[in-house]
Structures are given as C-alpha cells and as structure tokens.
Amino acid sequence: MKVEVDPMICEANAVCTGLAPEVFELDDDDELRILLPEPPQALADRVRHAVRSCPKAALTLSE
C-alpha cells in the first residue's frame, strides 16, 4: 500500500489528519505531509477511509 497527495489539489482541510494522524500531518505552512507513505497493514483501513473522505480527492492510494 502506498499513499500520495497531489499538492496542487489539496486544500489542507485536515480530514485525513483527523482520521489517520499517524500517517498524515499538516506542516506550519498548512501543507500536507505524508509521514508514512507506505503505511503498515494495521493502519490500512484508516488510511483507506481517509483517502475516501478527502473533500478534494487529493489523495491517491495504490495497493
């Protein structure tokens, strides 16, 4: 599993950071950082939920 963000689409709504804070973080400039680009299986369901919940569809997931 690999998760990526398109910074041109992301509006830093922080939905993903609330759903999977171990994987996603907003930096001081309100830019999304992916802390674990290849999250462990234990976080897979939460990451999938975060990707589906992104209001701008800025996150992509490949499995």
pLDDT digits (tens, 9 = 90+) for 2-61: 999 999 999 999 999 999 999 999 999 999 999 999 999 999 999 999 999 999 999 999
Number of domains the chain contains: 1
Structural domain that includes position 37: 2-62
* pLDDT of the residue at 33: 97
Q: Is 11 exposed, middle or buried (0-12, 13-18, 19+ CB in 10 A)?
A: exposed
* pLDDT of the residue at 41: 96
* pLDDT of the residue at 28: 94
Which pTM does this prediction carry? 0.93
* pLDDT of the residue at 14: 95
CATH number at residue 47: 3.30.70.20
